[in-house]
Structure 1
Amino acid sequence: MTTQQERHTALPLDLAPHTVAELGRQAVDLIVRQVAELPDEPASDYRDAGRLATLLRRPPAGEPGDFGTLIETFRQAAGQGVNTAGPGYLAYFPAGGLVSSALAELLAQVANRYTGVAQTAPALVAMEESVLTWMAGLFGLPSGAGGLITTGASAATLSAVVAARHDRLGPAFGDGTAYVTEHTHYSLAKAAQIAGLPAERIRTVPTTADLRMDVGEAARMIAEDRATGLRPFLLAGTAGSTSTGAVDPLADLVRLAREQGLWFHVDAAYGGGFQLTRRGRERLAGIEGADSITFDPHKSLFLPYGTGVLLAREPAVLRAAHAGGGRYLQDIHEVDGLPDYGHLGVELTREFRGLRLWLPLHLHGVRAFEEALDEKLDLAGVVHRELSADPRLEVPWQPDLSVVPFRLRGSDDANRRFLDRINATRRVYLSSTTLGGAFYLRLCVLSFRTRADHVEEALRVIRASR
């Protein structure tokens, strides 16, 4: 009889088809189990985290292991921490992670094609490009607009800042200034720092009472900086801030940027998906005037983490800022009508990312995403209405999208304890922020798995935890 050890030893790196089938069956069985259990799993669980963290710090052994045992260890590890895939996760920006997209990623990774240049996988690059062209049209960008799929909006923002710097400032850029608000995602300031801009060249524009960029103040600061010999070059608007989901007055900012000759960038990492809906298009009006847009499909298109998009009005500007070469690439040539993504962003080696978007969009249909996002806007309205009716709570801002900040009428310490009590139930998980110097809880309805009954449960938990 073959021993277990002999079976493990017989597993080569190049797996036989029947072995792939068996391991795949075990993996799919685990996926089915995970998805089936999501509705009843806690929103957060740290009870076994210490033991597993110690176990998983061990280095790999020289001898082979057992696949079933290994993926069971993964299952246990994934169950510790915050359950970002579950319906009770209402913190930060939930998405859930479409299983159809995960299956697409499995297929893409097994195919293991290189898409940094179109020549090596032209049909797959065409597939990826079709999604980007559709997205550019969704945001109202002109024909010829394009971009690339990244690991997230942070990487996309870096490429956008580099392109703006290259296009508007040239090689000497130490006197360039960029304009943000305190609610602009910090990835933009981080990108500017990496791109070589001094921290003092990132100007923080005051906001209005509804936490949007004050366009008049932005105009004043741009004029003052230009008068002192600085070179304003980048104005950043936000289409859905992290703290409140607020959308800046994008149309007014477009006009200001055009008048002043600034590159206009829109961070739509969270809010971009709502462009599929009528209400979202109304609230994001003006985004079509952007020079660059960053968007995270792993937020408001419900995809697994690690999927961002950079769109540019003129992709040639991205190429001018990022393209390079080497003698070892002399065999590579351009393919007519297809981009070389390695020349549009910071990455050279990149996997095929298009299928994780292309397959779910074609499989489910765009209308399914639109309907899900409309539901999230409706549910956020329910949360705002119900919490506003409670005299013990402050709910100062009507949600633009699906984020609702609120707090107890009391001290910051009382609100911290309030958040702790809510999260201690392990039925829902919320996060917090600071607005106007005060501690606020925030609830974001975004996951496709979060439905009306889950929102009702969250409201019950909040009321019972006051």
Structure 2
Amino acid sequence: MQSTSKTRNSLDLTGDDFAAMMAEIVPELSAFLDRLPESGIPPVSGANRFLSQNATVALQPPAEQGRPLRELLDVIVQAAENDKNAASGGLLAFIPGSGLVSSAAADLIAGVFNRYTAFSVVSPAMVALEAEVLRWLASLMGLPETSGGLLTSGASMAIFSAVVCARNRLPENFLNGVVYTTDQTHHCLSKAMRLAGFPSSALHLVPADEGWRMDVRALRAMIVEDRAAGYIPFCIAANAGTTNTGTIDPLKELAAVAREENLWFHVDAAYGGFFQATDRGRKRLSGIEQADSIVVDFHKGMFLPFGTGCLLVRDREILHRTHSNDDASYLRDLQGHSSNDVYLPDFAETSPELTRPNRGLRVWLPLHLHGVAAFRKALDDKLDLAEHVYHALQKMPQVEVLAEPELSVVAFYCRDANGSQAEEDIATEELVRYVNRAGRVSLGTTRIHERTVARIAILNVRTTAAIIEDTLSMISTYVEENAADAVSD
């Protein structure tokens, strides 16, 4: 690079300029990756300290003349250090996004090449790579060759498109339409329905059994009652791994109800879907292949950076009917080549987006670089760790584990000697605070049937057996000390 000033003030970099820029950026990222295994989950410090330390840059509008890259990198690194370390293997509080580095590299490549993938006639090769990923995923899920799909920014957008696809079964006045799900379903479904124009009354919650799975008998009764009341049942929204507990609804039985009642069968597999790549997961997810639509998140079960969701539908023609629009005159040269070919789809005609990033490369490169077996092994490792956590917690008399994990979430709470749920809730919250104060891992809580429950969600590619053992050790220390205090009192 000839000069730092030239790089700052010229919008269009040469290859040498770019190489010099990367020479400053890459060492920072490499250092972050090297310290990541030991970085833990320190408490988030908040914006005030960060902003006070970086007031000359972060609190100022962009200057007329550019600033040195080194100065800006320092601000970015400090900003990252003030945030929750989502890339750490110690983040067990939520279903994580690991931030697979090979996928981030693909994003850089895609951004520099900057290909427009909304219409296949513009970028047929890049669209073909993305379509290949979708065909691979549809095959993994057991969907037929008639299926199609699209990559989205996440499950929320994917579920929104799924709801709109399902809505096609309804008359033009669809306000009496009903979707059936349980209270364990992710809240993005209710949000998607609201965005799709449904009233809040359109979401009917089916009772769950003692394992938090949708009660099929109750569902059948509700469908009969709703039809008699003038509602139009049109969709069953099942879970293939809930966020709260990792529970899988009875997919085979629900698929049978959907067929008998002529309802759309949607499966939210945002968290659990990629366990289909493992032998254990495939058995537990049996029935997912009968879905009309499936949502998965590559940034969950495939460990990619945040922002990679996917919708698959059994009949790709429905995607086109739902999302295609009237011709725009300025796009006439592109739309004249409009395609719904599974090998070269026009994503602008099968999704809500017209302008979209080249998402396919961030999935295609890791899959081909590492191979499917590497992902399968990582997922199997997470299942093994979850089973280990379950059995270890079962041995602690002061802890109640809700159920054996079907996937990789283990939910539990602290027992109270007097059987007081209020005291158990307090103890469970204090346990999580005790573990999190150490700054090595981060646990979270949720509410299940009016009870406070702690969760250990194991799906980060960097979550190791050592991290899990450390977590279990801290839990054991807390419950033993808490039990001893109770006796002394």
TM-score by length of 2: 0.92
Task: Confirm or deny that 1:27 pairs with 2:25.
Answer: yes
Equivalent residue, structure 1, for 2:89:
87
Equivalent residue, structure 2, for 1:170:
171
Equivalent residue, structure 2, for 1:434:
447
AA matched with 1:401: L
Task: Confirm or deny that 1:142 pairs with 2:155.
Answer: no
Contact 1:8 1:65 survives alignment (8 Å) = no
Contact 1:45 1:79 survives alignment (8 Å) = no
Name whichever of 8-17 and 372-381 sits farther off.
8-17
Which runs of 5 or more residues in structure 2 are unaligned? 417-422, 480-489
Q: What CA distance in whole angstroms lies between the structure 1 residues aligned with 2:86 and 2:324? A: 37
Contact 1:297 1:307 survives alignment (8 Å) = yes
Q: What CA distance in whole angstroms lies between the structure 2 residues aligned with 1:45 and 1:435? A: 26
Q: What CA distance in whole angstroms lies between the structure 1 residues aligned with 2:60 and 2:477? A: 42
Task: Confirm or deny that 1:197 pairs with 2:202.
Answer: no
Name whichever of 325-334 and 251-260 sits farther off.
325-334
Equivalent residue, structure 2, for 1:282:
283
Q: Structure 1 residues 385 and 10, CA, compared in 2 at 3 Å: closer, same or farther?
A: closer
Q: Kindly state the Cα deviation for residue 49 of structure 1 after the two structures are TM-superposed.
A: 4.2
Output aligned runs, 1:141-160, within 5 Å.
141-160=143-162
Equivalent residue, structure 2, for 1:62:
64
Q: What CA distance in whole angstroms lies between the structure 1 residues aligned with 2:437 and 2:159? A: 35
AA matched with 1:349: T
Structure 1 residues 407-461: Cα deviation after superposition (integer angstroms, max 9, x where no partner) = 1113212222221111111010011111121101100111111111111111112
* SS of equivalent to 2:214: coil
AA matched with 2:457: C
TM-score by length of 1: 0.96
Q: Kindly state the Cα deviation for residue 16 of structure 1 after the two structures are TM-superposed.
A: 2.1
Q: What CA distance in whole angstroms lies between the structure 2 residues aligned with 1:74 and 1:38? A: 16
Q: 1:454 aligns with which of 459, 467, 470?
A: 467
Q: Structure 1 residues 262 and 32, CA, compared in 2 at 3 Å: closer, same or farther?
A: same
* SS of equivalent to 2:248: coil
Q: Kindly state the Cα deviation for residue 331 of structure 1 after the two structures are TM-superposed.
A: 0.7
Name whichever of 257-266 and 12-21 sits farther off.
12-21
Equivalent residue, structure 1, for 2:484:
none
AA matched with 1:17: G
Count residues in correspondence: 462
Structure 1 residues 126-180: Cα deviation after superposition (integer angstroms, max 9, x where no partner) = 00000000000000000121110000010000000001002x1032101101101
| Percent of pairs with identical residues | 45
Structure 1 residues 341-374: Cα deviation after superposition (integer angstroms, max 9, x where no partner) = 1111211110111110000000000000000100
Structure 1 residues 13-67: Cα deviation after superposition (integer angstroms, max 9, x where no partner) = 0112211101012111111111001011131333474221453343222221111
* SS of equivalent to 2:204: strand
Task: Confirm or deny that 1:400 pairs with 2:406.
Answer: yes
Equivalent residue, structure 2, for 1:352:
358
Q: Structure 1 residues 28 and 313, CA, compared in 2 at 3 Å: closer, same or farther?
A: same
What is the root-mean-square deviation in Å for CA atoms of aligned residues? 1.5
* SS of equivalent to 1:367: helix
Q: What CA distance in whole angstroms lies between the structure 2 residues aligned with 1:180 and 1:385? A: 30
Contact 1:206 1:214 survives alignment (8 Å) = yes
Q: 1:131 aligns with which of 109, 133, 145?
A: 133
Q: What CA distance in whole angstroms lies between the structure 1 residues aligned with 2:8 and 2:428? A: 58
Contact 1:8 1:64 survives alignment (8 Å) = no
AA matched with 2:362: R
Q: What CA distance in whole angstroms lies between the structure 2 residues aligned with 1:20 and 1:111? A: 13
Output aligned runs, 1:115-126, within 5 Å.
115-126=117-128
Q: What CA distance in whole angstroms lies between the structure 1 residues aligned with 2:181 and 2:69? A: 49
Q: Kindly state the Cα deviation for residue 116 of structure 1 after the two structures are TM-superposed.
A: 1.1
Equivalent residue, structure 1, for 2:487:
none
* SS of equivalent to 1:404: strand
Q: What CA distance in whole angstroms lies between the structure 1 residues aligned with 2:71 and 2:220? A: 61
Structure 1 residues 161-200: Cα deviation after superposition (integer angstroms, max 9, x where no partner) = 001002x103210110110100011111110111011101
Contact 1:145 1:312 survives alignment (8 Å) = yes
Which runs of 5 or more residues in structure 1 are unaligned? none
Task: Confirm or deny that 1:38 pairs with 2:36.
Answer: yes
Equivalent residue, structure 1, for 2:483:
none
Q: What CA distance in whole angstroms lies between the structure 1 residues aligned with 2:332 and 2:241? A: 44
Equivalent residue, structure 2, for 1:317:
318
Q: Kindly state the Cα deviation for residue 270 of structure 1 after the two structures are TM-superposed.
A: 0.2
AA matched with 1:308: G
Q: What CA distance in whole angstroms lies between the structure 1 residues aligned with 2:351 and 2:7? A: 43
Structure 1 residues 54-94: Cα deviation after superposition (integer angstroms, max 9, x where no partner) = 53343222221111221121111111232110111111102
Contact 1:334 1:340 survives alignment (8 Å) = yes
Output aligned runs, 1:262-273, within 5 Å.
262-273=263-274
Output aligned runs, 1:198-277, within 5 Å.
198-277=199-278
Q: What CA distance in whole angstroms lies between the structure 2 residues aligned with 1:170 and 1:32? A: 55
Contact 2:8 2:67 survives alignment (8 Å) = no
Q: What CA distance in whole angstroms lies between the structure 1 residues aligned with 2:89 and 2:8? A: 42
Contact 1:393 1:409 survives alignment (8 Å) = yes
Structure 1 residues 206-227: Cα deviation after superposition (integer angstroms, max 9, x where no partner) = 0000000001111110111011
Q: 1:362 aligns with which of 339, 345, 368?
A: 368
Contact 1:138 1:275 survives alignment (8 Å) = yes
Q: What CA distance in whole angstroms lies between the structure 1 residues aligned with 2:372 and 2:107? A: 19
